[in-house]
Chain A
Amino acid sequence: MREIFIGEYIRHHRQDQGLSQEKLCEGICEPMTLSRLENGKQTPSRNRIQALLQRLGLPDDRYFALLTPYEAAIEPLQKEISDCLVQHRREAGLEKLGELEALAEEDDQLTRQFILFVRALLGRADGEPYSPSEQMDLLTESIRLTMPRFSPETMGGQLYSHMEVRIMNQIADLFSQCGEHKRAFDLFEQLMEYIQNRTQGILWSRGVLGLVSLSYARALARTARHREALEIAELGWSTCIRMGYYDFSPALLHVMAECYHFLGSDEKSRDLYSQAYYLYEALGDQYHLLRVAKSAREQLCLEF
């Protein structure tokens, strides 16, 4: 693997922008320190490198600077595919997935894991969705690439990557949709406990708690356990808002609105439906906007 070192990277961009070492590092470090950094002899503290990268108008996480050309090609594709998943853009997602499959190296099991996971959610290349049992097979195959002995009953005690948490969350969700509620709740409970027990984890988890609490709350609501569903959704929403991870907030508000309705508090329900509706509207998310409008109409005769 060819690594591009941070010093080379900074020097390249500095020269590209016609800046002297003195000008770039003024107030951040001594020119001597920058010179040593560029020559690979010394690495200043993270704060300083970040500040230098920011001055150069570059992303300030170091791993970007350490990407190989292969990684630089697959990383943005993965991000685009994830966006397609969130926004329910199936066709665009499948197209990008095809590109990623063509690029992915044989022995890169983490990218293959991602591909199988996305495939399970998006369906066949010709547009046909998978049956629940086919989906389960794909998800199981996906997770076993990195956890060969995975079984939904025995996840305790291990350590997981974000991708592994996402796959397990999807498996639990599938159980719930197929009516295997007990298996679903067992898995969700373990996942929630796992995420929450690591406070460090919440800080760096980029909103994984939002995702799992959303799926879990929906599964609880499906079996009319609305009070518990509400509790889980509120926990996910408030934690994510506090940490600045907003991705799942409108969906969590939608679940909360439903729960309040079924618990008999229509005033609170109406209030939350409005929050979810106007948030989707502001985001320009038509797909979810229509779904919120539909359930608000059915449950509360509320028209937006």
Chain B
Amino acid sequence: MQEIFIGEYIRHHRQDKGLSQEKLCEGICEPMTLSRLENGSQTPSFSCVNALLQRLGLPDDRFTALLSQNELEIVRLRKELVAAISHHNTGKGWETVRELDRIAKKDDQVVRQVILRAKAVLGREDKIRSPEETLAMLEEALRITSPHFDPEEISRGRYCAEEIKIINSISDIYSEIGERKKAADILSQLLRYIQKQNQDIPQLLSMVAYNYAIDLTLLKRYEEAIETAELCWQSCVERNHYQFLPGSVHIIAECRYFLGELEESARLYTRAYYLYRAIDEKSDLEILTKEAKEHLGLLFKN
């Protein structure tokens, strides 16, 4: 791999924008320091490098500063892909996958894995593949980096974020084909793993807890489902990431209904309804509207 050092990188973008060293670093560091940075003879503090990168309109973690143009583009496309999948925008998702596929190196198995999982998830969402085919694809994707993956021994493995997402997607499919106990078992192990690792990857804990709570609800284990959904809720608040916040409230509303606590259930359905609206989540909103009407005769607009 060709490495671009931070100094080269900054110099390249600075010149590209027609800026002098003095203009770029004004107030942040001495032109001499910038010059040394660009020549690779000195690295100033990370807040200083951050500020320079931000002025250049570039990503400001030092990590990405070491990226080649190709990798930078991959980072951008992966971000777009996550957004497209979480908003059920499959059109945009396929387009992004094609683009990723085009620019990723053939031997970059980490990106190959991302592509394969995205294809599996998008294909299922668009109903162009059966659950069994999807499952096979997801397992293939997982084996790219984890050839010895053992679903019985999840808590003993070590996973990166993409692997956790694949295992989560696998459990989704099991749940879909009615193997709910299997799905719940996988997610319970995965959840324990994430909690034990204390990984600082924002959406993972809430995502896995959310899916686990859904399976527990389907298995009629309502008390546990509520506890898990509350864990998801708390994680969303702590990390300022609300993607699964409305969903966790929705699950608790449903469990309360099945536990016969109708008043509390109605109260929570109302909250979940407005929370879905607040983050512009349309497809789950539709499910909730239907469900609240069937269960409790509540009428919401879509």
Chain B residues contacting A54 (CB-CB under 8 Å) are 159-161, 199, 201
User: Which residue from chain B places its CB closest to the CB of A147 in the assembled complex?
Assistant: B27
A44 to B108, CA, bound (A): 11
- Chain A contact residues: over half helix, strand or loop, or mixed? helix
User: Which residue from chain B places its CB closest to the CB of A86 in the assembled complex?
Assistant: B240
Does B110 lie at the interface of the complex (its beta carbon under 8 Å from any beta carbon of A)?
yes
Q: A55-B159, A62-B63 are in contact. Are A27 and B146 (CB under 8 A)?
A: yes
Q: How far is the CB of A42 from chain B (nearest CB, A)?
A: 9
Is A110 a contact partner of B197 (Cβ separation < 8 A)? no
A54 to B243, CA, bound (A): 21
Partner of B1, one of A23, A44, A51, A253: A44
Is B54 a contact partner of A48 (Cβ separation < 8 A)? no
Does B258 lie at the interface of the complex (its beta carbon under 8 Å from any beta carbon of A)?
no
Is A282 a contact partner of B61 (Cβ separation < 8 A)? no
Q: How far is the CB of B206 from chain A (nearest CB, A)?
A: 12
Of residues 50 through 71 on chain B, the ones whose CB sits less than 8 Å from some CB of chain A are 50-51, 54-64, 66-67, 71
A296 to B43, CA, bound (A): 53
Point out which of B79, B198, B274 has the most chain A C-beta atoms below 10 A from its C-beta: B274
Number of chain B residues whose Cβ lies closer than 8 Å to a Cβ of chain A = 74
Is B279 a contact partner of A249 (Cβ separation < 8 A)? yes
Chain A residues contacting B62 (CB-CB under 8 Å) are 61-63, 66
Q: A147-B26, A282-B249 are in contact. Are A246 and B87 (CB under 8 A)?
A: no
Q: How far is the CB of B205 from chain A (nearest CB, A)?
A: 12
Q: A57-B198, A244-B241 are in contact. Are A47 and B111 (CB under 8 A)?
A: yes
Chain B residues contacting A28 (CB-CB under 8 Å) are 109-110, 145, 160
Does B148 lie at the interface of the complex (its beta carbon under 8 Å from any beta carbon of A)?
yes
Q: A63-B46, A146-B51 are in contact. Are A57 and B199 (CB under 8 A)?
A: yes
Chain B residues contacting A276 (CB-CB under 8 Å) are 278
Does A15 lie at the interface of the complex (its beta carbon under 8 Å from any beta carbon of B)?
no
Does B48 lie at the interface of the complex (its beta carbon under 8 Å from any beta carbon of A)?
yes
Is A271 a contact partner of B277 (Cβ separation < 8 A)? yes
Does A67 lie at the interface of the complex (its beta carbon under 8 Å from any beta carbon of B)?
yes
Chain B residues contacting A61 (CB-CB under 8 Å) are 61-63
Is A279 a contact partner of B275 (Cβ separation < 8 A)? yes
Q: How far is the CB of B88 from chain A (nearest CB, A)?
A: 13
A23 to B146, CA, bound (A): 10
Does B28 lie at the interface of the complex (its beta carbon under 8 Å from any beta carbon of A)?
yes
Chain A residues contacting B201 (CB-CB under 8 Å) are 54, 60
A255 to B26, CA, bound (A): 37
Is A1 a contact partner of B45 (Cβ separation < 8 A)? yes
Does B3 lie at the interface of the complex (its beta carbon under 8 Å from any beta carbon of A)?
yes
Chain B residues contacting A242 (CB-CB under 8 Å) are 83, 87
Q: How far is the CB of B129 from chain A (nearest CB, A)?
A: 24
Is A274 a contact partner of B274 (Cβ separation < 8 A)? yes
Point out which of B3, B47, B148 has the most chain A C-beta atoms below 10 A from its C-beta: B47
Does B162 lie at the interface of the complex (its beta carbon under 8 Å from any beta carbon of A)?
yes
A-B contact count (CB 8 A): 185
A261 to B18, CA, bound (A): 48
Is B46 a contact partner of A253 (Cβ separation < 8 A)? no
Is A62 a contact partner of B61 (Cβ separation < 8 A)? yes
User: Which residue from chain A places its CB closest to the CB of B111 in the assembled complex?
Assistant: A47
Q: How far is the CB of A249 from chain B (nearest CB, A)?
A: 7
Point out which of A159, A162, A247, A283 has the most chain B C-beta atoms below 10 A from its C-beta: A159
User: Which residue from chain B places its CB closest to the CB of A281 in the assembled complex?
Assistant: B271
Is A282 a contact partner of B275 (Cβ separation < 8 A)? yes
Chain A residues contacting B270 (CB-CB under 8 Å) are 278
Does A265 lie at the interface of the complex (its beta carbon under 8 Å from any beta carbon of B)?
no
Is B54 a contact partner of A161 (Cβ separation < 8 A)? yes
Does B74 lie at the interface of the complex (its beta carbon under 8 Å from any beta carbon of A)?
yes
Does A243 lie at the interface of the complex (its beta carbon under 8 Å from any beta carbon of B)?
yes
Does A289 lie at the interface of the complex (its beta carbon under 8 Å from any beta carbon of B)?
no
Partner of B162, one of A19, A51, A146, A241: A51
Q: A66-B62, A110-B47, A159-B55 are in contact. Are A55 and B158 (CB under 8 A)?
A: yes
Is A160 a contact partner of B45 (Cβ separation < 8 A)? no
Of residues 236 through 292 on chain B, the ones whose CB sits less than 8 Å from some CB of chain A are 237, 240-243, 245, 249, 270-271, 274-275, 277-280
Does A284 lie at the interface of the complex (its beta carbon under 8 Å from any beta carbon of B)?
yes
19 contacts between A and B (CB under 8 A): A27-B145, A28-B160, A46-B67, A47-B71, A47-B74, A50-B161, A51-B110, A55-B160, A57-B198, A61-B61, A62-B63, A108-B45, A146-B26, A146-B27, A148-B26, A203-B79, A204-B60, A244-B82, A278-B274
Chain B interfacial positions (CB closer than 8 Å to A)? 1, 3, 17, 19, 24, 26-28, 43-48, 50-51, 54-64, 66-67, 71, 74-76, 79, 82-83, 86-87, 108-111, 143-148, 158-162, 197-201, 233, 237, 240-243, 245, 249, 270-271, 274-275, 277-280
Name the 5 nearest CB pairs between A and B, nearest first.
A62-B63, A146-B27, A27-B145, A63-B62, A159-B55
